[in-house]
Amino acid sequence: MTAALHMKDVSICYGRKVVIEDVSWEVLEHDFAAIIGPNGGGKTTLLKGILGLLPLSSGEITIFGLPPGEGRRLIGYVPQFHTFDFSFPITVSEMILQSRLPLIPGLFRRYREEDYKAMERALDRIGLADAGDYPISTLSGGQQQRVIIARALAGEPRLLILDEPTVYVDAPTEDLFFSLIERLREEMTVIIVTHDISAISGRVNRIACLNRSLYTHGDAMITDDMLTSVYGCPVDLIAHGVPHRVLRDHRGEDRD
Amino acid sequence: MAYLTGFSGITGVRTVIEILGFGFFQNAIIAGLLAAVACGIVGSFVVVRRMVTTSGGISHAAFGGIGLGFFFGIDPLLGAVFFTIGAAVLIWYLNTRELQETDTITGAIWAAGMALGIVFVALTPGYKPDLFSYLFGNILLVPTSDILLMGFLVLVILSVVLILFTRLVAVTFDSEYASVMGMPVSSLTLILFLLIALTVVLLISVVGIILVIALLTLPAATARLFTHSLPAMMAAAILIGVVTVISGIFLSYSFDLPSGATIILVGSALYTGALARRHLHSS
């Protein structure tokens, strides 16, 4: 089986500064994977590498066997929530349709019947089937977040990548969000990228910690060692999904 | 005082018909309509993408081109076309290279353009031209040659926006996502800047360099208050622009006021009114 995401010895540099170093990882089809790491740990850079927006200094990335530039059309990308201008005069359906643009041929790039159908399917999946004509400014925060996901879904991706999906979202909205992701996972591979360890669902089956290099351990285990090496200090941890499952106490001392 | 009676009864109708018979007045109306179309469409992009300061930089740089036009004895408006396009490309280039803050670049180009214009005019031998109408506009003095240039520019703007509409909206709304989708965000941004450059030239004859930003943004900002999609906003902005410019022309003629300033004051009044109305409705 071809991996949904395959990275082998990937390094990315800005000038002489090494931001990503020797990262190797594989996410299989229908995995629910998470990349966690502190801010400034290179998450955004690695994402740009995966999306083909930054050249790799060395190594190889493939998406379903394709190089990033080509594999990009198989990826549904859900950017960070706070980068949006929700006062923009645009309706929900107009916003979602935009992810169809790369699929439309011709000089004028006008939306076709099938684009409208894909948009309606995406709206239906996030449970906002009737909201197509609403201006995005009239939606609640949780609805806006789901519309960003619907935009990614309308491109009919096989791999959904979510960048910091739970920042600025309250707890009930977060629960709603994870139940939506649970349903989507049956149809596609999902990768969540976040600095917020508590945002990781207990149902994640593959975790990696990123701080310039990638630390993996088993499948879905976060260990003290991983956190200490990634965050540079011991971290208290409450896992999402199982309420108040406090992971065992860290040792509170340096690794070496 | 005869013109003051122009707004009452049959005499009023006859006065309006009489002044519409003047060639200069017809030119003014046509120039006003062309300007309203351009600023409704491009102004909407400027307002939603927050490019007002960039537009200010581009429009003030036009003064350099007007000075150059006088110096070489060519149509000053044609000189302005070169300078606004040059300024747009320069701002875009420095911007995408992230060499400087956009704000700083814009300020520098803004001032340097004005300074160049003044130097060129000073160097022009003999007759010193009337710069006032370029700075503050005089729509009642627009020659037919300028109308032709304006018509051509509107045609270019309309065609570009018609072809690229869905892509321009995507880049304006969320440029990061557009680049993730593999769209040429940088080129599309340059096209937006060039559209602003052409629109600025159109508006110079109507309201003058100093007041260009106001006419570019006021109708669009007013339209935004009661529309929820970009096509609707543009249509409303064109309509508001037409009302603003035409009533501005009539008011300025009737009360013998400077046309550019009168047009802007009408636009400001409409915007203030729309803001107040929304404020009353929401509270």
* A residues 127-186 closer than 8 Å to B (CB): 135, 137, 151, 155
Give B109-155 pLDDT, tens digit per residue: 999 999 999 999 999 887 777 788 889 988 888 889 889 999 999 99
Tell me whether residues B180 and A53 touch, CB distance under 8 A. yes
Selected for mutation to probe chain B from A63, A80, A93, A94 (highest B CB count within 10 Å) is A94
Please provide residue A193's backbone torsions phi and psi, each rounded to the nearest 5 degrees. -115, 125
What global pTM score does this model have? 0.86
* A residues 59-88 closer than 8 Å to B (CB): 69, 72-73, 77, 79, 83-85, 88
Tell me whether residues B167 and A102 touch, CB distance under 8 A. no
Instruction: Give chain B positions within 8 Å (CB) of A104.
Output: 166
- C-alpha–C-alpha distance, residues B147 and B34, integer Å: 9
Q: How confident is the model at residue A250 (pLDDT cuts 50, 70, 90)?
A: very low
Spell out a b/e string for A55-80, using b for 16 or more CB atoms within 10 Å of the CB, else e. ebeebebbbbeeebeebbbbbbbbbb
Give B204-218 pLDDT, tens digit per residue: 988 999 999 999 999
Average pLDDT over residues A135-140: 92
- Locate B45 and state its tokens: 């992009």
Complex ipTM = 0.84
Tell me whether residues B173 and A91 touch, CB distance under 8 A. no
Give the distance from residue B90's alpha carbon to the nearest chain A alpha carbon, in angstroms. 24
- Locate A25 and state its tokens: 């990882």
Of the candidates A79, A107, A109, the beta carbon closest to that of B177 is on: A79
Tell me whether residues B183 and A102 touch, CB distance under 8 A. yes
Tell me whether residues B182 and A69 touch, CB distance under 8 A. yes
A116 touches B: beta carbon within 8 Å: no
Give B25-80 pLDDT, tens digit per residue: 899 999 999 999 999 999 999 999 999 999 999 999 999 999 999 999 998 989 99
- C-alpha–C-alpha distance, residues B169 and A88, integer Å: 10
- C-alpha–C-alpha distance, residues B89 and B85, integer Å: 6
Say how many CA atoms lie within 13 Å of B132 toward its Cβ: 5
